Structure 1
Amino acid sequence: MDGVLLVVLLREGIGERETAQLARHSQEVLSSASRLERLLVDAESGGRGFMLTGEERFLEPWNTACAAIPAESANLLRLSDTPEQKDQSRRITQGVESYLVEYSVPMVDAVRHNDPSVRSVEAIDEGKRRMDVVRAEFEHLDQTERGVAVVRDEQATATAALVEVTVPVGVAVAVLLILLFVGYLTRTVIRPVRRVAAMADRLAGGELTARIPESGAAEIRTLEHSFNRMGRSLQQNRDELTRLADEQAALRRVATLVAHAEPPPTVFTAVAKEAGRVLGADGTRLLHYEADGTATVVARWGAAGSDMSVGARVTLDAGGVAAEVLRTGEPARFEGPAAALGGAVSSAVGVPILVEGALWGVMNALSTDEPLPEDAEDRFANFTDLVATAIANTQARFDLTASRARVVAAADETRRRIERDLHDGIQQRLVSLALDLRTVEAGVPAELPELRAELSEVAFGLAATVDELREISRGIHPAILSEGGLGPALRALARRSAIPVELDVQVEGRLAPPVEVAAYYTVAEALANATKHAQASVVRFEAAVLEDRLHISVRDDGVGGADPARGSGLIGLTDRIEALEGRVTLASPPGGGTSLQAELPIGVAE
């Protein structure tokens, strides 16, 4: 009887041990799959960052992941020992390889060759579809292993129940011995194994904080320690993956602002907020170094360092990180309470902002309690690079606008000079010659009517030439615009129009010459187009100054269908107005007339 019970109990113990070993092996498979999935996410995040910004630094995680994926895929296949595990692992590794070889690598190459199709909706959807397929395989493997763990646990429970059923009521001594033996096994083997199996289920379900007391004996204690170590490793890996995903998402949001050419203050504010949240800092500040050794606060976030408001000019403390970065041009860090860090701040990190190789400013992270992460400087550098890109882009746009404005101003000055030369030189000379000719004509004797007629014809020709020259001079630069301003010039333009014009000009006083010239030629081009192409019966023109901007509207009731790309006139006007930081919009639906709207800032420098 005792021998039978002993055999049954030994069999149960062996089964429980095998169950624990199988559970540990299952967790090794899941851990390998988790690492492979994390590497795939690194490759996808790095590739997407590179496709959005075109910057090579986003390929660092992508290159690392691509290099590590083959080895991890081989490890997953090696650990898979059941037919179902092998099949699922094979589908996962094939899906990961297909994503890299058929999608990610070609897309990165396309970005390097400036292929615009990589940012199309179809390309993005294709990458998402492939990632969803691979994630589904990972989830399937996870669910399968969890189901196997449940079955193994049920089998262990059934074995224990069998022991309880088969133990007969026998001799008191035998029953006592059996109970003592079962109690010993339950306490030292079965319960620890069940705890391990339960922990395996909790880990497989995503509860990575689960731990078990390491109270078993010998191998059970080793198993408990291994499971706890695996749980800590999985938790660290998940936390690291979450942190990386949050950081990449923050960088993508800031990169989107930079790509959309948002104003620097908007980018600065977003960087301060996103960087502070990613690092878990209590406050962040962006400072721009000035030539006199001070700095201007261009953005801030958080409670720490709130004594500095945006736009404030501050003196750099000799012991502060901002002063240290200015001195060395390198990242700086200070730990421990210090007055130079400002108030209750106990930890600070500063990273330089370099624009085209020159030190432009510094971004600070501040903490009031815990020290900032050890890799804060490296993680901050990703954000400062985006700040530098935004500043460089803004400066490039400013330089381009200023250059275009100088070109337009030079052309206008040349027009005015030519108009003055024509008016004061050739035109006046022709008028004088015409008057002299009329004087000669009046002195011709009456008996020479043919000579008088010829002189009169020449005089009329000179007068016509003067009128034509006056029209040419007006087209180059109308004198009335320089002498009377925009209002009289536009009214004169309306009077000369071949199409009736309804005029509403509400412009008082003089505006800056570049604004008046741009407005005049905008209306002149619109009237010329309406006369030549629109078949319009009336043109309505409005001009008014509202909120420091000149608003111009020219509308006709013609056939519509105007296309700026088919002529250089509207393109030139658009360049002229945009050079003054203005805007032009054209609406010309077929059969619905044409409407030209323009806005110009009246504060343009002369």
Structure 2
Amino acid sequence: MSRTRGGLISRMVLATGALLLIVGAAFGVLLFSINEQRTTARVTRHAQQVFDAVGDVERLADDAQTRQVQYFVTGDAGYVADWQVATADLPRATEHLEQIATTSQERHHAERIAQISRSFVDDYSMPVMDAARRGDPNARDAATMREGDRRIAELHAEAQTLRMTERQIVDTSDARIDRLVQQEILAVVGGLAGSALVIALVGWYQTRVIVQPIRRVAAMADRLASGDLSTRLPETGTVEIGRLERFFNVMAASLERGYRELTERVETQIALRRIATLVARGVPPAEVTAAVAAELGQLIDTESVRIVRYEPDGTGTVVAAWGGADLDLPVGARMPLDGRNVTAMVLRTGKPARIDDFTEATGVLGTHLRERGLRAAVGAPIHVEGRLWGVVASGTACEEPPAPNAEARLAEYTDLIGTAIANTQARADLIASRSRFVLATDQARRRIERDLHDGVQQRLISLGLNLRRIQECVPTDLPELREELSAVVAGLTGTVDDVRELSRGVHPAILSEGGLRPALRALARRSGVAVELDVRLDARLPEPVEVAAYYVVAESLTNAAKHAGATVVSVRADVDDHQLRLVVRDDGVGGAEAGHGSGLIGLADRVEALGGTLTLDSPRGGGTCLEVRLPLDEAAL
């Protein structure tokens, strides 16, 4: 096997090495040729720079000679300026030529051209022009002009020699490039042919030894991807292929196991979400615990689930049950917690516990369950606000014990159970506290109303009657005193009216005496906005409900008159499904918000304290609709 393995690897390495050698040789030739082409391109660019520089020198020298001759012939001073420009630029052009000359031949010719140019300007052109401008007739003779032509011809000859030298260098480089191009073609053709041959051989070998077995693996993988997790390959391959087949089978088994675990996890999360939804909705703990027991029974594939609350006297009460009807432990059953059983073990340790063999169980509960066929059980503690509240336990009558992670799966639910219990208790305590506060406030209102009506109001009325008697006893000759007493009596009468109105606002007597229907009619009569009443109540309602409904309507009418600019308000009250449904709607400007304004906030607090709901719909420009629902049963309690 080791020789086969080594042969497979060595052949692949050998083939790869041959391919790399062929490709590397071809690319080496190409890289060498490319480098030579870059060198030739640099030589060509340099030669072109030399040509341009030589051309600039020749052009400037020709311009200087031409402008000089034109001045001699015409005497026009304008040609002198052009001559000056040419003679001033000529030294810079020759200096540039000398700077770009790199080879010895180039430098020789460049220095020679620079020497001829300087001699032309310094030894000939400038002296002649100076003499001509002074009026010397010898400066304009034919011999002088021929001397200038001779010097220019010498400059051209030297420039042509430099050009020929550069051209020879360029031609030599071009010839070398042509040879290299031929070598490139041969290298590319040979590399392609060799590579194709090596690749064909490697492809044939890989197809026979590797590709065909892998195709079998791919077919099995396709079946695996389509959901057939039981797919397995026959492990008939050798060396790497054989190991691939074994690894495929291991992967398939792992996927199958992971799929089962993922399915269990997803089912657990879905169940947890359902339980969390119940907790968020604030349903009673009994419903939550019953739902948890049912979810656990289905998830951990057990026969029975019990949720037990620990009592202060050391006993336990079953608060939720699923399955296990033969266990004789229904909801409400109470048992002592002694001996060795899951419920008692969790109580003592505060940690998860399990019993895989119930023949070892003791105590009243352990004996009871063993007699009814229970063979194993697991349990997890439930903590509420940091204290041990109870236990969730699962039992089975099968010989096979519960799964190793059964306690952990139970523990995943205990936090939710504790949260549900704590939330429900807190909610119940809050509602009870708010109800007591609202009841105390209403009682205080009624006491104040009675004190105002029976005390202050009666005293003011008695005082007014006494003043009237005194007023009648005043002599007729004291009219001013009679008028003053009359004014005092009128003031007392107004004060009595104010006290009566104040007592009515604190707690309307008509509400206590006649109920919600006449109280709402009284509100409608006093309203500054037209009110349409539709009150469908056949009997008196619990007092807290009537008081809350009264103040909802009173606050709504006040808001409609002061803020909404409404012209009409409709008030509808009826009883539906053991609830008082109160709807107040106006045609005002809308835009009211439940969180703004102490009036609406106070109404919401009062309604929620009675376990009711308040819904506000007030789009801008669309009026305001306030709907209140108050439970009658809870309020009556």
| TM-score calculated relative to the size of structure 1 | 0.61
1:281 aligns with 2:310: no
Q: Which residue of 1 is the match for residue 382 of structure 2?
A: 353
Q: Which residue of 1 is the match for residue 335 of structure 2?
A: 315
Q: 2:350 aligns with which of 324, 329, 338?
A: 329
Q: Which residue of 2 is the match for residue 549 of structure 1?
A: 579
Q: Which residue of 1 is the match for residue 535 of structure 2?
A: 505
Q: Which residue of 2 is the match for residue 586 of structure 1?
A: 616
Q: Which residue of 2 is the match for residue 407 of structure 1?
A: 437
Q: Which residue of 1 is the match for residue 467 of structure 2?
A: 437
Q: Which residue of 2 is the match for residue 602 of structure 1?
A: 632
Q: Which residue of 2 is the match for residue 44 of structure 1?
A: none
Q: Which amino acid in structure 2 is aligned with residue 334 of structure 1?
A: I
Q: Which residue of 1 is the match for residue 425 of structure 2?
A: 395
Query: What do residues 495-514 of structure 1 show as CA deviations (whole Å, max 9, x unaligned)?
Result: 32233333333334443332
Query: What SS does structure 2 have at the residue aligned with 1:414?
Result: helix
Distance in 2, matches of 1:249 and 1:590, equals 41
1:480 aligns with 2:498: no
Distance in 2, matches of 1:551 and 1:364, equals 44
For residue 223 of structure 1, report the CA deviation from its aligned partner.
8.7
Q: Which residue of 1 is the match for residue 554 of structure 2?
A: 524
Moved more, 389-398 or 275-284: 275-284
For residue 432 of structure 1, report the CA deviation from its aligned partner.
0.7
Q: Which residue of 2 is the match for residue 145 of structure 1?
A: none
For residue 426 of structure 1, report the CA deviation from its aligned partner.
1.6
Distance in 2, matches of 1:545 and 1:308, equals 43
Query: What SS does structure 1 have at the residue aligned with 2:418?
Result: helix
Distance 1:18 1:232, change over 3 A: farther
Query: What do residues 575-594 of structure 1 show as CA deviations (whole Å, max 9, x unaligned)?
Result: 11111101112223344433
Distance in 2, matches of 1:212 and 1:591, equals 73
Query: In the alignment, is the contact (CA less than 8 A) between 2:220 and 2:233 conserved in 1?
Result: no
For residue 434 of structure 1, report the CA deviation from its aligned partner.
0.2
Query: What SS does structure 1 have at the residue aligned with 2:404?
Result: coil
Moved more, 216-225 or 315-324: 216-225
Query: What SS does structure 2 have at the residue aligned with 1:542?
Result: strand
1:202 aligns with 2:223: no
Query: What do residues 78-102 of structure 1 show as CA deviations (whole Å, max 9, x unaligned)?
Result: xxxxxxxxxxxxxxxxxxxxxxxxx
Q: Which amino acid in structure 2 is aligned with residue 441 of structure 1?
A: Q
Q: Which residue of 1 is the match for residue 476 of structure 2?
A: 446
Moved more, 413-422 or 557-566: 557-566
Query: What SS does structure 2 have at the residue aligned with 1:463?
Result: helix
Query: What SS does structure 2 have at the residue aligned with 1:564?
Result: coil
Mapping of 1:238-317 within 5 angstroms? Answer: 239-259=260-280, 261-291=282-312, 295-301=316-322, 303-305=323-325, 311-315=331-335
Query: What SS does structure 1 have at the residue aligned with 2:615?
Result: strand
Q: Which amino acid in structure 1 is aligned with residue 451 of structure 2?
A: D
Distance 1:220 1:550, change over 3 A: closer
Distance 1:542 1:14, change over 3 A: closer
Q: What's the Cα RMSD here?
A: 4.0
For residue 197 of structure 1, report the CA deviation from its aligned partner.
8.5
Distance in 1, matches of 2:413 and 2:371, equals 23
1:424 aligns with 2:454: yes
For residue 471 of structure 1, report the CA deviation from its aligned partner.
0.8
For residue 521 of structure 1, report the CA deviation from its aligned partner.
0.9
Distance in 2, matches of 1:235 and 1:553, equals 59
Q: Which amino acid in structure 1 is aligned with residue 335 of structure 2?
A: T
Q: Which residue of 2 is the match for residue 457 of structure 1?
A: 487
Distance in 1, matches of 2:343 and 2:494, equals 74
Distance 1:480 1:349, change over 3 A: same
Query: In the alignment, is the contact (CA less than 8 A) between 1:15 and 1:156 conserved in 2?
Result: no
Query: What SS does structure 2 have at the residue aligned with 1:536?
Result: coil
Distance 1:332 1:490, change over 3 A: same
Distance in 2, matches of 1:551 and 1:373, equals 53
Query: What do residues 360-418 of structure 1 show as CA deviations (whole Å, max 9, x unaligned)?
Result: 22212233333211122123212111111121122222222222222222222222222
Larger-Rg structure: 2
Distance 1:224 1:524, change over 3 A: closer
Distance 1:221 1:597, change over 3 A: closer
Q: Which amino acid in structure 1 is aligned with residue 625 of structure 2?
A: S
Any gaps of 5 or more consecutive residues in structure 1? 1-8, 23-153, 161-189
Distance 1:18 1:364, change over 3 A: farther
Distance 1:16 1:402, change over 3 A: farther
Q: 1:367 aligns with which of 396, 413, 417?
A: 396
Distance in 2, matches of 1:155 and 1:201, equals 21
